[in-house]
């Protein structure tokens, strides 16, 4: 993409009412547009990052047997009344509306009920299980506070997977497989070193659920980390009884602020009982299906990457989810420089390397500041100096390290790194 053709522009200042770092930087760099409190539009650069994040999650869910579908946002109250969750007392973030006929509808906050109801048409026998079904779908939550940028919004895409198993043992086997898949996701997006599997409340379903928490000062949660075991305990269940059950000692734990980036949750037979989802076992007996739910918000993950990895110059994207691999910065508009930049752009894109070419008529300082703000992993500078030397200045965004490569060396390095992702 030529930056001169990109309709979005960078900004020196974020909106005065935006307090979160992720939203400030994403708005300034032209990744998102704030429609209203808690509602953000994804612009071309932002959508590229969001789609790459979704792609990583999709790959890992498919790898453990997930089947993707897409459920509706509009919700039938009757299905939710069966579980007792239609009332605002049960779920306090409902958006509800009415058809012109007067019938009431909801906008989905989560999808346990409709999917359980749907699976009644497809699960009848023990031979039909287990099944693992997921989606990337827009959720709506009437959050009282929406001040954390794209990490807590009122309209957002959620990856929600639901497991349907014959027994607790079968459920637990998949539960652990999904936990491992989540760790792979966080590793791939650059948050693995800061993210901990965290024991949290299981609510009415189980003793514990599992959250995945990324250590960050912007976090809303407090966790207690055991570094040696690479796990943590949420403050909500941090008591002597829980620590004893988990085999942890207070003196071995450190307190940190953290952002919840995912969760996995035992549901037992709560929803299968309420909606009549059973299967016939080998003895011909009707048995309720054991369920679990597993959530990750791709935009929340994207916002956490910004909060955790950005520096004082701007965003720092990991290679795997960066909008482009290379920011090709052309300095000067004389014919030689322009011809060389065009040739580099043609050769790199021909090798499948994603390039944002800054061909704008702007000063070097402005281009470098914008490049730092946008946060693409590698900046390659084309100038009269580089033409004279026969090598190009290549600056790594995350480290600031500068090296000089010929075009063939650069392409070799980039294609090698691309194949390892």
**Structure tokens that stand for 94 in this block:** 């409902």
Check whether 173 has a pLDDT greater than 70. yes
pTM for the structure as a whole: 0.95
Question: How far lies 174's CA from each of 46, 122, 187, in Å?
Answer: 33, 20, 20
Q: What DSSP character marks residue 314?
A: B
Q: Would you say 337 and 185 are in contact if contact means Cβ atoms under 8 Å apart?
A: no
- Residue 82: which of 266, 292, 278, 272 has the closest Cα? 272
Q: Would you state the pLDDT for residue 24?
A: 96
Measured distance CA(414)–CA(408) in Å, rounded? 10
Residue-level pLDDT at 206? 79
Task: Kindly list the domain boundaries of the chain, sorted by start residue.
Answer: 3-309, 326-420
Beta bridge partner(s), residue 379? 327, 395
CA 319 to CA 189: how far, in whole Å?
8
**Banded model confidence at residue 416, pLDDT cuts 50, 70, 90:** confident
Query: Cα(225)–Cα(255) distance, rounded to whole angstroms?
Result: 6
| Measured CA angle at 132 (ends 127, 134), to 5 deg | 150
pLDDT score, position 145: 76
Nearest to residue 33, comparing CAs of 60, 57, 15, 52?
A: 15
| Same CATH fold assignment for domains 3-309 and 326-420 | no
Contact 112, 271 (CB under 8 A): yes
326-420 adopts what CATH topology? Rossmann fold (3.40.50)
CATH superfamily of domain region 3-309: Bira Bifunctional Protein; Domain 2 (3.30.930.10)
Q: What per-residue confidence (pLDDT) applies to 367?
A: 97
pLDDT computed for residue 420 by the predictor: 62
Whole-angstrom distance, CA of residue 160 vs CA of residue 137:
8
CA distances to 194, 218, 264, 334 from 301, in Å: 13, 13, 15, 42
For residue range 292-330, list pLDDT tens digits in order: 999 999 999 999 999 999 999 999 999 999 999 999 999
Q: What is the sign of the dihedral through the CA atoms of 7, 11, 16 and 17? A: positive
Distance CA 9, CA 161 (A): 37
pLDDT classification of 205: cutoffs 50, 70, 90: confident
What is the arithmetic mean of pLDDT over 195-206? 88
pLDDT at 417 over 80: no
**At residue 421, does pLDDT exceed 70?**
no
Note the pLDDT of residue 113: 97
Contact 223, 270 (CB under 8 A): no
Nearest to 368 by CA among 1, 2, 10: 10
Q: How far is CA 314 from the centre of its chain?
A: 19
pLDDT in tens, 402-414: 999 999 999 998 9
Residue 389: pLDDT over 80: yes
Residue 78, number of CB atoms within 10 A of its CB: 10
pLDDT, tens only, 122-145:
999 999 999 999 999 999 999 887
Mean pLDDT of all residues in 55-67: 98
CA–CA separation, 128 and 122 (whole Å):
8
In tens, the pLDDT along 251-272 reads 999 999 999 999 999 999 999 9
- pLDDT tens-digit map of 11-37: 998 888 888 999 999 999 999 999 998
Mean pLDDT of the chain: 95
CA distances (Å), origin 28, targets 1, 293, 311, 363? 19, 36, 14, 19
Other beta carbons within 10 angstroms of residue 158's beta carbon come to 21
């Amino acid at each position: 993409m030529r930056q001169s053709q990109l309709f979005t522009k960078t900004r020196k200042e974020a909106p005065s009412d935006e307090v979160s770092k992720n939203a400030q930087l994403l708005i300034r760099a032209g990744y998102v547009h704030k429609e209203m409190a808690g509602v953000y539009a994804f612009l071309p650069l932002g959508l590229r990052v969001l789609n790459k994040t979704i792609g990583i999650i999709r790959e890992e869910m498919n790898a453990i047997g997930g089947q993707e579908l897409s459920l509706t946002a509009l919700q039938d109250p009757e299905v939710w009344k069966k579980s007792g969750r239609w009332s605002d007392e049960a779920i306090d973030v409902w958006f509800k509306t009415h058809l012109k006929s007067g019938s009431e509808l909801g906008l989905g906050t989560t999808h346990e009920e409709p999917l359980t109801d749907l699976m009644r048409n497809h699960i009848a026998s023990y031979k039909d299980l287990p099944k693992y079904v997921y989606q990337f779908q827009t959720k709506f939550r009437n959050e009282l506070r929406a001040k954390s940028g794209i990490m807590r919004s009122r309209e957002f895409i959620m990856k929600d997977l639901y497991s349907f198993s014959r027994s607790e043992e079968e459920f637990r086997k998949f539960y652990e497989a999904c936990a491992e898949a989540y760790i792979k996701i966080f590793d791939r997006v650059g948050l693995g070193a800061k993210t901990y599997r965290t024991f949290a409340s299981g609510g009415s379903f189980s003793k514990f659920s599992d959250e995945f928490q990324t250590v960050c000062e912007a976090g809303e949660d407090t966790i207690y980390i055991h570094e040696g075991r690479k796990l943590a305990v949420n403050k909500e269940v941090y008591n002597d009884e829980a620590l004893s059950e988990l085999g942890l000692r207070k003196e071995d734990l450190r307190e940190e602020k953290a952002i919840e980036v995912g969760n996995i949750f035992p549901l037992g037979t709560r929803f299968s009982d309420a909606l009549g989802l059973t299967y016939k076992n080998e003895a011909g007996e009707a048995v309720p299906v054991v369920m679990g739910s597993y959530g990750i918000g791709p935009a929340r993950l994207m916002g956490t990457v910004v909060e955790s990895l950005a520096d004082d110059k701007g965003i720092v994207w990991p290679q795997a989810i960066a909008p482009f691999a290379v920011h090709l910065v052309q300095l000067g508009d004389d014919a030689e420089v322009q011809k060389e930049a065009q040739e580099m752009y043609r050769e790199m894109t021909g090798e499948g390397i994603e390039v944002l070419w800054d061909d704008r008529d702007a000063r070097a300082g402005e281009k470098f500041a914008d490049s730092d703000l946008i946060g693409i992993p590698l900046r390659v500078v084309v100038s009269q100096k580089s033409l004279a030397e026969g090598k190009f200045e290549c600056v790594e965004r995350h480290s600031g390290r500068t090296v000089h490569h010929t075009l063939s060396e650069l392409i070799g390095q980039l294609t090698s790194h691309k194949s390892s992702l």
